[in-house]
Structure 1
Amino acid sequence: MKKIILFLTMCLMAFPVKADEGMWFLMFIERLNHRDMQKMGLQLTAEEIYSINHHSLKDAIVQFNGGCTAEIVSKEGLVLTNHHCGYDAIAELSTAEKNYLKNGYWAPDRKSELKPSSLYVRFFVRMDDVSKRILAKVNDKMSEEERGKAIQQEMAVIEKENNEGGKYTVSVRPFFQGNEYYYFVYQDFKDVRLVGTPPESIGKFGGDTDNWEWPRQTGDFSMFRVYADKDGNPAEYSENNVPLQPKHYLPVSLNGVKENDFAMILGYPGRTNRWMPANGIEQNIKYAYPAWVEGAKTGMDQMKKYMDKDATVRLAYASKYASTANYWKNRQGMIDALTKHGTVKTKTDQETKFNTWANKPENKAKYGNAVANINKYYAMTNEKSRHDNYLQQMFRTTAFAVVSTTLGKSLDAYVKADEAKRKEMYPEIMKSVEEGQKEMYLPAEKDLLAAQLKLYATKSTGYPVAPIVEKLAKENNNDFTKYASDAIDNSIVVSPAKVKAFLDAPTQEKLDNDPLLTLSKGLIAHIGMKSPELAQAQNDFGAGFRLLVDGLRESKIGMIKYPDANSTLRLTYGKVRALPADKRNADAKINNYTTMESMVKKYKKGDEEFDLPVKLIEMNKAKDYGRYADKAGYMPINFLTDNDITGGNSGSPVLNGKGELIGIAFDGNIEAMAGDVIFDPALQRTINVDIRYVLWIIDKLSGAKHIVDEMTIAK
Structure 2
Amino acid sequence: MERINPQEPRSLRRILSLLFISVIIVGSYAAFADEGMWTFDNPPLKQLKERYGFVPTKEWLDHIRLSSVRFNDGGSGSFVSPDGLVLTNHHVARGQLQKMSTPEKNYVKDGFYARTQAEEIKCPDLELNVLISMENVTARVEGAVRKGMSDKEALEARKAEIAKIQNESTQASGLRSDVVSLYQGSEYWLYRYKKYTDVRLVFAPEEQIAFYGGDPDNFTYPRYDLDMAIFRVYEDGKPVKTANYLKWNPRGASDGELVFVSGNPGSTSRLETLTQLETKRDYIYPLRIKGIKQRLEVLRQFASLGAEQARQASGQIFGLENSLKALTGEYEGLQDKTLMAKKEKEEKDFRALLAANPEWEKEYGGAWDAIAQAEKKMVEMLKPMQYRSLRYSRLAGYALAIVQYAAEVKKPDSVRLDGFHDSQLESLRFRLLSPAPVYPQLEEVSLAEALQESSDELGPNDPFVRIVLKGGSPAEVAKALITGTKLGDPALRKSLIDGGDSAVAASKDPLIALAREIDPLVREMRKWVEDNIQSVEVAAGEKIGKARFKVYGKSMYPDATFTLRLAFGTVKGYPMNGTIAPSKTTLYGLYDRAYSFDMKPPFDLPERYLARKASLDLSTPINFVSTCDITGGNSGSPVINKNGELVGLIFDGNIESLVGKFVYDETKNRAVAVHTAAMTEALRKLYDADRLADELEGKLSR
With normalisation by structure 1, the TM-score equals 0.81
Question: Relative to structure 1, is the Cα distance of residues 126 and 291 closer, same or farther in structure 2, using a 3 angstrom cutoff?
Answer: same
Provide the rounded CA distance (Å) in 2 between the counterparts of 1:133 and 1:508. 37
Aligned to 1:88, the other structure's residue is in SS state helix
Whether the 8 Å CA contact 2:400–2:512 is kept in 1: the answer is: no
CA contact (8 A) 1:129 1:181 kept: yes
Q: Is the 8 A contact 1:283 1:378 kept in 2?
A: yes
> Match for 2:370 among 364, 373, 382?
373
1:367 alignment partner AA: Y
1:27-38 equivalences in 2 (<5 Å) = 27-29=41-43, 31-36=45-50, 38=52
Quick check: 2:252–2:648 contact (8 Å CA) kept in 1? Answer: no
8 Å Cα contact 1:337-1:672 kept in structure 2: no
2:246 maps to a residue whose letter is L
Structural mapping, 1:423-502, within 5 Å: 435=435, 438-442=437-441, 444-459=442-457, 466-469=462-465, 480-489=474-483, 491-493=484-486
- Cα distance in 1 between the residues matched to 2:490 and 2:195: 35
Q: Which residue of 1 aligns with 2:612?
A: 619
Aligned twin of 1:335:
331
**Is the CA contact (8 Å cut-off) linking 1:287 and 1:386 kept in structure 2?**
no
- Secondary structure at 1:27's aligned position in 2? coil
Distance in 1 (alpha carbons) for counterparts of 2:504 and 2:179: 40
Structure 1 residue 693, shift from structure 2 partner: 1.3
Alignment of 1:276-291 (within 5 A): 276-291=272-287
- Counterpart residue type for residue 132 of structure 1: A
> Matched residues in 2 for 1:272 and 1:386: separation?
23
- The structural deviation recorded for 1:82 is 0.7
Task: Provide the residue aligned with 2:570 in structure 1.
Answer: 575
Distance 1:616 1:286 in 2: 47
Answer yes or no: is the 8 Å Cα contact 2:444–2:479 preserved in 1. Answer: yes
Tell me which residue corresponds to 2:419. Answer: none
1:555 to 531, 543, 551: 551
Q: Is the 8 A contact 2:404 2:519 kept in 1?
A: no
Q: Is the 8 A contact 2:486 2:509 kept in 1?
A: no
Q: Does the 8 A contact of 1:306 with 1:314 survive in 2? A: yes
- Conserved? CA contact 2:468–2:514, under 8 Å: no
Instruction: Kindly report which structure 2 residues correspond to 1:216-365, keeping only aligned pairs within 5 A, or say none.
Output: 216-228=223-235, 235=236, 238=237, 241=238, 243-340=239-336, 342-356=338-352, 358=354, 361-365=358-362
Are the counterparts in 2 of residues 488 and 516 from structure 1 also a CA contact under 8 Å? no
What residue in structure 2 maps to residue 422 of structure 1? none
**Distance in structure 1 (CA, Å) of the matches to 2:346 and 2:691:** 57
State the alpha-carbon separation in 2 of the partners of residues 607 and 596 from structure 1: 18
Question: Match for 1:251: what amino acid?
Answer: K
Say what the alpha-carbon RMSD is for the aligned residues.
Answer: 3.9
Q: How many Å separate the matches in 1 of 2:468 and 2:165?
A: 49
Q: Which residue of 26, 40, 43 maps to 1:26?
A: 40
Q: Which moved more, 1:196-205 or 1:338-347?
A: 338-347
- The equivalent residue for 2:696 is 711
Partner Cα distance (2:608, 2:592) in 1: 16
Equivalences for residues 158-173 of structure 1 within 5 A: 158-159=165-166, 162-163=169-170, 165-173=172-180
Report Cα offsets for 1:586-629 as digits up to 9, x if no partner: 4xx64222222333344368866333212202333x2x22xxx4
Find the aligned partners of 2:185 and 2:490 in 1 and give their Cα distance.
48
C-alpha distance in 2 between matches for 1:133 and 1:451? 45
Q: What's the TM-score, normalizing by structure 2?
A: 0.82
Q: Deviations over 1:150-185 (max 9, x none)?
A: 334444554456557443223332211221122222
* Contact kept in structure 1, 2:84 and 2:234, CA below 8 Å: yes
Change (3 A) 1:530 1:196: closer
Cα deviation code 1:406-425 (max 9, x no counterpart): 35568999xxxxxxxxxxxx
Which deviates further from its counterpart, 273-282 or 316-325?
316-325
- Corresponding residue number in structure 2 for 1:637: 622
How far has the Cα of 1:143 moved from its partner?
A: 2.6
Q: Does 1:695 align with 2:680?
A: yes
1:589-628 to 2 correspondences below 5 Å: 590-603=581-594, 609-620=602-613, 622=614, 624-625=615-616
Measured in 2, the distance between the counterparts of 1:535 and 1:78 equals 46
CA distance in 1, matches of 2:135, 2:674: 33
**Is the contact between residue 641 and residue 685 of structure 1 (CA under 8 Å) also seen in structure 2?**
yes
Aligned residue pairs: how many? 652
Contact 2:377 2:532 in 1 (8 A): no
Q: Determine if contact 1:334/1:673 at 8 Å carries over to the other structure.
A: yes
CA contact (8 A) 1:291 1:390 kept: no
Alignment partners' CA distance in 2, 1:497 and 1:147: 39
How far did residue 60 of structure 1 move? 1.5
Q: Residue in 1 aligned with 2:202?
A: 195
SS for the counterpart of 2:542 is helix
Match for 2:30 among 16, 31, 52? 16
**DSSP-derived class of the 2:91 partner:** coil
Question: What's the % identity of the aligned pairs?
Answer: 26
- Whether 2:69 is the aligned partner of 1:71: answer no
Q: What is the CA-CA distance between 1:546 and the residue it aligns to?
A: 1.9
Q: Deviations over 1:227-246 (max 9, x none)?
A: 23xxxxxx3xx3xx2x2221
Instruction: Choose the corresponding residue for 1:90, options 56, 73, 97.
Output: 97
Q: Could you tell me how far apart the structure 1 residues matched to 2:342 and 2:151 are?
A: 29
Tell me, in whole angstroms, the C-alpha distance in 2 between the residues paired with 1:208 and 1:16.
Answer: 36
SS at match of 1:640: strand
In structure 1, give the amino acid aligned to 2:621: P
Residue 458 of structure 1 aligns with an amino acid whose one-letter code is D
CA gap of 1:37–1:153, structure 2 versus 1, over 3 A, is farther
Matches within 5 A, 1:7-156: 16-29=30-43, 31-36=45-50, 38-39=52-53, 42=54, 45-51=56-62, 56-156=63-163
SS at structure 1 position matched to 2:201: strand
Give the conservation status (yes or no) of the 8 Å contact 1:449–1:484.
yes
Of the structure 1 ranges 296-305 and 346-355, higher mean CA displacement relative to structure 2 is found in: 346-355
Residue 672 of structure 1 and its aligned partner are, at CA, apart by 2.0
CA deviation digits over 1:181-227, x for unaligned, max 9?
A: 22222212222211111111112222222222222221111001122
Report how far residue 711 of structure 1 moved.
Answer: 2.2
1:565 and 2:560 matched: yes
When structure 1 is superposed on structure 2, of 204-213 and 464-473 the one drifting more is 464-473
Tell me the SS of whatever aligns to 1:26: coil
1:445-498 residue CA offsets vs partner (Å, 9 max, x unmatched): 34333333333433458xx9842426888957xx64444445544x33566599
399-408 or 667-676: bigger deviation = 399-408
Q: Structure 1 unaligned runs (5+)?
A: 1-7, 229-234, 414-427
Structure 2 contact 124–434 (Cα < 8 Å) conserved: no
1:115-146 Cα deviation digits (max 9, x unpaired) = 12222322222223233344333344223343
Matches of 1:494 and 1:35, distance apart in 2: 56
Q: How far is 1:666 from its partner?
A: 0.9
Distance in 2 separating the partners of 1:270 and 1:249 = 23
CA distance in 2 between counterparts of 1:61 and 1:434 reads: 25
**1:103 shift after superposition:** 1.3
CA distance in 2, matches of 1:130, 1:448: 42
Of stretches 312-321 and 289-298 in structure 1, the one that deviates more from structure 2 is: 312-321
Which SS does the other structure have where 2:105 is aligned? coil
Q: Which amino acid aligns with 2:675?
A: D
Q: AA paired with 1:712?
A: E
Unaligned runs of 5+ in 2: 1-21, 409-427
